[in-house]
Amino acid sequence: MTSLDELPLRADLRGLTPYGAPQAPLPVALNVNENTHPVPDAVVGDILDDIALALTDVNRYPDREFTALREAFAGYLGHGLTADQIWAGNGSNEVLQHIMQAFAGPGRTAFGFAPTYSMYPLITQGTGARWISGTREDDYTITAEDAAAQVRDADPDVILLCSPNNPTGTPLGLDVVEAVYEAARGIVIVDEAYHEFAPKDAASALSLLPGRPRLAVSRTMSKAFAFAGARVGYLAADPAFIDALRLVRLPYHLSALTQAAATAALRNSATMLRMVDEIVEQRDRITATLEALGYTPHASWSNFVLFGGVDDPRAVWQALYDRGVLIRDVGIPGHLRVTAGTEAETTAFLDALASIGSSS
- Residue 9 included in any domain: no
Question: Which segment of 24-28, 250-254, 273-277, 313-317 scores lowest on mean pLDDT?
Answer: 24-28
- Banded model confidence at residue 41, pLDDT cuts 50, 70, 90: very high
Give Cβ neighbours of residue 306 (< 8 Å, ≥ 6 apart): 167, 168, 169, 297, 298, 300, 330, 332, 335, 336, 337
Question: Is there a single domain that holds both residue 74 and residue 145?
Answer: yes
Q: 73 is in which domain, residue-wise?
A: 41-267
- Residue 308 included in any domain: yes
Q: Between the CA of residue 348 and those of 49, 141, 167, 328, 338, what are the distances in Å? A: 36, 31, 22, 16, 12
Question: Is there a single domain that holds both residue 101 and residue 26?
Answer: no
- Residue 10 included in any domain: no
pLDDT at 150: 98
Contact (CB, 8 A) for 120 and 99: no
Reply yes or no on whether the pLDDT at 313 is more than 70. Answer: yes
Reply yes or no on whether the pLDDT at 359 is more than 80. Answer: no
- Residue 316 included in any domain: yes
pLDDT at 301: 98
Q: What is the mean pLDDT of residues 122-142?
A: 96
Nearest to 233 by CA among 241, 23, 224: 224
Reply yes or no on whether the pLDDT at 358 is more than 60. Answer: no
- Domain finish residue from 244, 267, 290: 267
Number of independent structural domains in the chain: 2
User: Is omega for the bond preceding 199 within 30 degrees of 0, making it cis?
Assistant: no
Question: Is there a single domain that holds both residue 173 and residue 294?
Answer: no
Question: Which segment of 24-28, 37-41, 192-196, 257-261 scores lowest on mean pLDDT?
Answer: 24-28
pLDDT at 357: 66
- Residue 76 included in any domain: yes
CATH number at residue 159: 3.40.640.10
The proportion of the chain whose per-residue pLDDT surpasses 70, expressed as a percent, equals 99
Residue 331 zone, left/alpha/beta (φ > 0; ψ -120 to 50; rest): left
Length of the chain: 360
CATH number at residue 299: 3.90.1150.10
Helices (H), 56-196: 67-77, 92-103, 119-126, 144-154, 174-183
Q: What is the C-alpha separation between 269 and 74, in angstroms, rounded?
A: 13
Question: Is there a single domain that holds both residue 138 and residue 96?
Answer: yes
- Domain finish residue from 209, 232, 267: 267
**With 0-12 CB in 10 A as exposed, 13-18 as middle and 19+ as buried, what is 108?**
middle
- Residue 6 included in any domain: no
Give Cβ neighbours of residue 4 (< 8 Å, ≥ 6 apart): none
pLDDT digits (tens, 9 = 90+) for 86-117: 999 999 999 999 999 999 999 999 999 999 99
Question: Is there a single domain that holds both residue 30 and residue 159?
Answer: no
- Banded model confidence at residue 277, pLDDT cuts 50, 70, 90: very high
Tell which wins on pLDDT, 2 or 360.
Answer: 2
pTM over 0.85: yes
Amino acid 116 reads: T
Question: Is there a single domain that holds both residue 105 and residue 174?
Answer: yes
Q: What is the mean pLDDT of residues 258-285?
A: 96
Question: Is there a single domain that holds both residue 165 and residue 299?
Answer: no
- Residue 34 included in any domain: yes
- Compute the radius of gyration of the chain from its Cα atoms: 21
Reply yes or no on whether the pLDDT at 18 is more than 90. Answer: no
Q: What is the C-alpha separation between 326 and 323, in angstroms, rounded?
A: 9
Q: What is the mean pLDDT of residues 230-250?
A: 98
- Banded model confidence at residue 215, pLDDT cuts 50, 70, 90: very high
Question: Is there a single domain that holds both residue 32 and residue 102?
Answer: no
- Residue 351 included in any domain: yes
